[in-house]
Amino acid sequence: MFRGTLIRSGNNAKTVKGDGEYETAIMYLAPFTLAGSNVCPMAETAGCVAGCLNTSGRGRMNNVQIARINKTKRYLKSRTDFMAELVADLEGFVAYCKRKGVKPAVRLNGTSDIQWEVAHYVTRHIKAVHPQQETEVRFDSVFHAFPEVQFYDYTKVYKRVYRTLPSNYSLVLSYSEANLAYADKVIEAAKDTGANVAVVYRTKELRDSLTGDHLEGTERLMNRPVFNGDDTDLRFTDPKGVIVGLYAKGAAKVDTSGFVLG
């Protein structure tokens, strides 16, 4: 288990399933406007506020919620300081994974939807030719600063998949029928770019009944095969061109907004 100030590994039941070749560290912030400013810009449109995983598992604990709010407030107060803190955590996680003999994987948006690939510059102190010297290097993003790390996220900001993302950053679109205009935009983005689409089903049984087959309502959901997305969280290892089928957890079990299907 790695415990940084912003990212941690080993405390998410789903990511632990994928431990072996990789170990995943996740950063959990306070979603939507819980910390005073919206870090999930499509949350209301996509109807995922009520069904957010923020309160599932350990997230229901008061001290966990306070920690997430405090982290998010640090991000909102000074992005520069926050990114420096994140760099320190990532350096520590990379070293931890090297000692353990596993590959590092990181989800920065455990409970947020921040566009880390845009306007999130970082600096690192890189060893120079002489072993006793270091030089400060500025990078466009943490993805460029840490090419040895595989980053991945779910996103409801569909315009993100149209961008030329760093090779070590994988995005999966998140579907919702709370707003059919939004749903159509997600489908359009998936068709245009080939991005996979995560769909949350009411029950595990419903998800399983569709896995390996084609979704009903093929006009809306592209007639893509459904892939079981709960066996592991390593979305960058999924087949291309699939619906990543998930079943509802936490507050999502009773969600009726259209974010959860079935």
Mean pLDDT computed over every residue of the chain? 88
Which pLDDT score, from 0 to 100, does residue 72 have?
A: 96
- Name the domain count of the chain: 1
Does the residue 2 lie in any domain? no
**DSSP secondary structure string for all residues of 217-240:** SHHHHTTPBEEE-SS---GGGSPS
Angle at 108 between CA 204 and CA 5, to 5 degrees: 115
Displacement of CA 34 from its chain's centroid (Å): 18
Q: Is residue 135 part of a domain?
A: yes
pLDDT tens-digit readout, 72-116 = 999 999 999 999 999 999 999 999 999 999 999 999 999 999 999
pLDDT digits (tens, 9 = 90+) for 219-245: 457 788 889 999 999 999 999 999 999
Q: Give the per-residue pLDDT at 58.
A: 62
Residues 161, 235, 212, 222, Cα dihedral to 10°:
-10
Q: Where are the alpha helices (DSSP H) in the chain?
A: 13-17, 43-46, 62-77, 79-100, 142-145, 180-193, 204-210, 218-221
Inside any domain, residue 1: no
Candidate from 57-61, 90-94, 134-138, 232-236 with smallest mean pLDDT: 57-61
Is residue 120 situated within a structural domain?
Answer: yes
Nearest by Cα to 186 from 204, 205, 200, 168: 200
State the pLDDT at residue 57: 60
Q: What is the pTM of this model?
A: 0.89
Let me know if residue 33 belongs to a domain: yes
What's the Cα-to-Cα distance from 108 to each of 66, 150, 228, rounded to whole Å?
A: 18, 11, 22
The confidence score (pLDDT) of residue 128 equals 66
Nearest Cα residue to 25 out of 121, 84, 103, 79: 103
Q: Provide the pLDDT for residue 145.
A: 97
Query: Which residue shows structure tokens 């995005």?
Result: 171
Q: Angle, to 10 degrees, between the axis of helix 62-77 and the axis of helix 79-100?
A: 120
Q: What is the pLDDT of residue 162?
A: 98
Is residue 196 assigned to a domain? Answer: yes
Work out the average pLDDT over 119-138: 82
pLDDT score recorded for residue 218: 39
Residue 206 has pLDDT above 50, yes or no: yes
Residue-level pLDDT at 213: 55
Each residue of 7-47: pLDDT tens digit?
A: 999 866 555 555 689 999 999 999 888 888 999 999 888 87
Asked whether residue 99 is assigned to any structural domain, the reply reads yes
Q: Quick: pLDDT tens for 210-221.
A: 886 554 543 457
Report how far apart the first and last C-alpha atoms of the chain are (Å, whole number). 36
When pLDDT is cut at 50, 70 and 90, the band that residue 63 belongs to is: confident
**Percent of the chain residues topping a pLDDT of 90:** 62
Phi and psi dihedrals of 142, rounded to 5? -65, -25
Distance between CA 58 and CA 54 in Å, rounded? 9
Q: Give the Cα separation of 6 and 165 in Å (integer).
A: 23
Q: Which domain holds residue 35?
A: 7-261
